[in-house]
């Protein structure tokens, strides 16, 4: 049987997605896939007389605007950057976006490919978890693969999904994995309409906002005891017993306070790339990370990828992402019966949801170890929506 070029690209994506320790950190698959996506973009964006063309897709056009906006900040950052090293380290946030065009162009090819490969991926995941080492599998991406490859979501699949996540929780303490498990099950089986989904998001946002506002007086004390890059987190924890429940979550609240609230409204314009997220002192190492404060301040994300994007590229970047997400979730719930019948597409939406939740609490768009996977996934979803529209499927009752 002839081996198609698209199969090679999809194999690269699979290897990258199951083990970035090898295929990104050693072989730079994120950069390879970004280059392939850029080539796809050039091949399909211009006619023979060099006129630009793009599909009639809100998501597609929003991604193009996102690239243009980030490109503007990349040019502006030539004057804002600290040095070339940090500039190019941050540049992956921008060039990884071209992975979107891989997903958009290989939407049809990926169904048969992943169907043949899913047994191997499941088997690899079981082996990886039996060893209990994150070097075997990306712990933030395994839920993505399960959601992507499982097409029917019948009782056996649901049971397997829950069991795998419980095993994950036994091996690794993670609030993220709890949110992923609950969100996927609720979105697939509980929420019926887009109105219900919006209500759920609104309630979650209000609940988080209340918690955050109540925490702010304690977070403000981070400067106690002198300079630390992230602030005196131990002193903050000591202000209230709740902060000791989960240090990772408490640290994130402090980081979000410093990058969103403390620097408002200057952060609405964006700081560009190659610039520090936090003020730092030269030749100091005040964290437990094996790098000095200067490097960490430039290359780390806020552990909410959307906050990182806003801080670096301004509020308009978040507005573009908001348009994308509104298009996706309104589409999914409005035409849910269509996507349930076309079971291949259900996995695309749920796997994209998984990556979104990962990004709410971790590095995603700003790290070359996951960013292309996000953009490829978005490309799959955008093409699924466009394919449905071309089929002239009638709208479901809300």
Q: Please indicate whether residue 176 or residue 360 has the higher confidence score (pLDDT).
A: 360
Q: Which of 57, 30, 52 is nearest to 41 (CA)?
A: 52
pLDDT in tens, 253-269: 999 999 999 999 989 99
Q: What is the pLDDT of residues 189-208, one digit of tens each?
A: 999 999 999 999 999 999 99
Does residue 2 register a pLDDT over 50? no
pLDDT of residue 341: 84
Q: What pLDDT is recorded for position 232?
A: 96
What residues contact residue 74 under an 8 Å CB cut-off, 6+ apart? 91, 94, 272, 273
Q: How far apart are CA 340 and CA 335, in angstroms?
A: 9
Confidence at residue 19, expressed as pLDDT on a 0 to 100 scale: 87
Two tokens at 258?
A: 């410093």
In this prediction, residues 113-137 reach a mean pLDDT of 77
Residue among 100, 7, 144 at smallest CA distance from 376? 100
According to the model, what pLDDT value does residue 151 have? 80
Instruction: Give the Cα separation of 69 and 35 in Å (integer).
Output: 19
Q: What does the mean pLDDT of the chain come to?
A: 91
Is the CB of residue 270 less than 8 Å from the CB of residue 311?
A: yes
The secondary structure element, H or E, covering residue 116 is: helix 107-131
SS3 state at 94: helix
pLDDT tens-digit series, residues 49-77: 888 999 999 999 999 999 999 999 999 99
Count of structural domains within the chain: 1
DSSP state of 275: S
Summarize the confidence of residues 320-335 as an average pLDDT.
97
Residue 380 neighbours by CB under 8 Å, 6+ apart: 103, 104, 107, 110, 348, 352
User: Rounded CA gap, 350 and 336, in Å?
Assistant: 12
Residue 91 has pLDDT above 70, yes or no: yes
Q: Token digits for 283?
A: 């030749």
Residues 6+ apart with CB under 8 A from 212: 253, 256, 257
Are the C-beta atoms of residues 298 and 82 closer than 8 Å to each other?
Answer: yes
Place of tokens 């850029």: 38
Domain of 74, in residue numbers: 1-398
């Amino acid at each position: 049987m002839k081996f198609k070029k698209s199969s090679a690209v999809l194999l690269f994506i699979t290897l990258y997605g199951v083990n970035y320790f090898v295929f990104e950190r050693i072989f730079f698959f994120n950069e390879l896939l970004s280059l392939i996506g850029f080539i796809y973009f050039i091949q399909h964006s211009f006619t023979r007389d060099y006129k630009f063309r793009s599909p009639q897709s809100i998501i597609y056009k929003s991604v193009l605007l996102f690239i243009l906006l980030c490109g503007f900040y990349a040019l502006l950052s030539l004057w804002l950057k600290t040095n070339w090293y940090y500039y190019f380290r941050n540049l992956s946030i921008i060039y990884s976006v071209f992975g979107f065009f891989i997903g958009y162009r290989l939407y049809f090819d990926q169904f048969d490919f992943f169907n043949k490969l899913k047994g191997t991926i499941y088997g690899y995941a079981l082996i990886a978890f039996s060893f209990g080492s994150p070097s075997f599998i990306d712990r933030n991406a395994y839920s993505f693969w399960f959601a992507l490859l499982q097409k029917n979501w019948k009782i056996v699949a649901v049971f397997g999904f829950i069991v795998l996540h419980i095993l994950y929780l036994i091996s690794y303490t993670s609030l993220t994995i709890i949110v992923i498990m609950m969100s996927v099950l609720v979105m697939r089986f509980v929420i019926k309409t887009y109105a219900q989904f919006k209500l759920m998001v609104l309630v979650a946002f209000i609940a988080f906002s209340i918690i955050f506002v109540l925490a702010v007086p304690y977070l403000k004390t981070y400067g106690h005891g002198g300079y630390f890059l992230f602030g005196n987190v131990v002193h903050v924890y000591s202000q209230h017993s709740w902060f000791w429940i989960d240090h990772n979550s408490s640290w994130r609240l402090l980081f979000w306070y410093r990058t969103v609230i403390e620097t408002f409204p200057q952060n609405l314009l964006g700081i560009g790339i190659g610039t520090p997220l936090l003020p730092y002192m030269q030749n100091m190492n005040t964290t437990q990370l094996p790098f000095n404060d200067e490097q960490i301040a430039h290359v780390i994300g806020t552990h909410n990828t959307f906050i990182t994007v806003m801080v670096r590229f301004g509020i308009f970047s978040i507005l573009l992402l908001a348009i994308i997400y509104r298009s996706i979730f309104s589409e999914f719930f409005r035409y849910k019966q269509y996507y349930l019948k076309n079971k291949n597409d259900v996995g695309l939406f749920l796997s994209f949801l998984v990556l979104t939740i990962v990004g709410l609490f971790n590095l995603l768009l700003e790290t070359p170890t996951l960013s292309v996977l996000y953009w490829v996934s978005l490309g799959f979803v955008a093409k699924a929506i466009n394919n449905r529209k071309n089929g002239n499927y009638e709208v479901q009752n809300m």
